Amino acid sequence: MSRKTVLGAFCASNGAFEVTARRIIAGQQRSFTSTAQRNAQITHFLPTGKPALDELLNTIRHKIILPSYLPLAQRKKIYSPKHEKKLQSDPIIIEIDGEVLKFRHMNPFNGDIPQTRRSVMQAIQLFDTSDDFLNLKPLLEGIAYANRKFDPSFHTKILRVVGAKGRIYDIIDCARSVRRTGFKLDSSEKANEVLHWVQMKAVDSRWDADQTAQALRWAEMVLEMLQDEGHQPRRRKDDPPLDGELPLSRDPMVLAAPLHLAAAMVTRHDAGDEVREMVTKHATDIVRLWPQGRKLKELQPAQLYQDHDKLGYLVEPNKFVVLAAPLLRGLETAIQVVEPQLADQLRSRHDTLAAEVQEAREAGVTGRGGRGEQVYRRVYDLEPLPERDVTVE
């Protein structure tokens, strides 16, 4: 939807004059068309009934998001100390989608402008109900519109927090609107974290037929998104793909998640030929792309495992168990479904991964209730360890 934008500076102390001024500036239309995104509808948040959360979202909106709707010259003006006194009585007025907004001076060095990353994470950590999560996409859209830049771990942490709250589809939905939210599944960690929580949806439902079928649809949706141009990693000229580097959509680690869910639908709910064919397709692709005898952490070039923002995150034993345990169970399940020759090929990959997972369990926090061990026991339906405060690493 196009946005009407009207700028002016009028005396706020004279109410009648201000009303007249609004009518005057309402007839002066100016659209921000520097980019296609600049035609986005203004960000609004829905009330949550939680005063602290509503106040935080309101602060994010007025202090971080809305100033980005101003032209650059006007933005510089509200941040400039030399305009502070003038703007107190003579604010910049802007009308967007029928909403009249006033901008006065904001000092970026004395706390007037909240720290974006901290504020966003605080808001998401307060999300609890379905109504709260209706604000997730507008929040990410607004932050993307404001052109805030973050390190690669920021979106990964968001999806972990949301996934732990049982709301992983909200993340998938944001990723589907990547051009507005900026939420890209452009790294191995993000893609595999999303697919982890999708699998755990089925696991934690004790493989309920409807929940498992829904999880399978979501996993296939993620796999399809990974092939979309909007989710491709940005490459620097000095960082071309390495020899043997597989795209995310062809990474056996990624493919093993939908394989797991499809195989579970067959073995537990006697799914039909379409799902069986899905199992065979994913299993065939996995054995073709996963050389026999090679560990999961050896499927990509070794250099990638030295960079945490690429595949280095898998070196941490506890994290590896979290992500690999559901895949191991998935290979076991798929072996029961596919033809004998393909089953033998899957079994060799399973045995290699089983040894790798066991090694990571022993090197990690086995027996102490860490997240990796807890996930392993949930996936294999083992007696849970005594509960303790387990953080989402």
Once rounded to an integer, what is the mean pLDDT over residues 89-107?
Answer: 88
Q: Return the sign of the alpha-carbon dihedral for residues 114, 117, 122, 126.
A: positive
Instruction: Look at 11 and 274; give whichever has higher pLDDT.
Output: 274
Task: Specify the pLDDT at position 391.
Answer: 52
226-235 pLDDT tens trace: 999 999 988 8
Q: Of 211-220, 253-262, 303-312, 367-376, where does mean pLDDT reach its minimum?
A: 367-376
Which amino acid appears at position 85 of this protein? K
For 51, list phi and psi in degrees, rounded to 5.
-55, -45
What is the overall mean pLDDT for the chain? 87
Q: Which of 82-91, 189-198, 279-288, 367-376 has the lowest mean pLDDT?
A: 367-376
Under a CB-based contact definition with an 8 Å cutoff, are residues 287 and 349 in contact?
Answer: yes
More confident residue, 225 or 13: 225
Which of 36-45, 116-125, 319-328 shows the lowest per-residue confidence on average (mean pLDDT)? 36-45
342 versus 30: which is more confidently predicted?
Answer: 342
Query: Which residues on adjacent β-strands are paired with residue 100?
Result: 95
Percent of the chain as helix, strand, coil, to the nearest 5: 60, 5, 35
**Which of 80, 69, 82 is closest to 3 using CA atoms?**
69
Cα angle, residue 113 at apex, residues 110 and 114 outer, rounded to 5°: 105
pLDDT of 18 strictly over 50 = no
* pLDDT category of residue 112 using cuts at 50, 70 and 90: confident
What pLDDT does residue 369 have? Answer: 59
Quick one: pLDDT at residue 392?
Answer: 54
Confidence class for position 24, pLDDT limits 50, 70, 90: very low
Tokens of 111: 């706390």
Q: pLDDT value at position 388?
A: 55
Cβ 174 vs Cβ 140: under 8 Å: yes
- Say what the pTM is: 0.85
Lowest mean pLDDT among 64-68, 117-121, 316-320, 386-390: 386-390
Name the nearest CA neighbour of 219 among 178, 263, 257, 181: 257
pLDDT band for position 365 (cuts 50, 70, 90): low
Task: Measure Cα distances from 99 to 31, 94, 96, 163 in Å.
Answer: 15, 8, 5, 35
pLDDT digits (tens, 9 = 90+) for 130-152: 999 999 999 999 999 999 988 87
Contacts of 140 (CB under 8 A, 6+ apart): 174, 181, 182, 183
Reported confidence tier of residue 350, pLDDT bands at 50, 70, 90: very high
Check residue 149 and give its pLDDT.
85
* Predicted confidence (pLDDT) per residue in 157-186, tens digit: 999 999 999 999 999 999 999 999 999 999
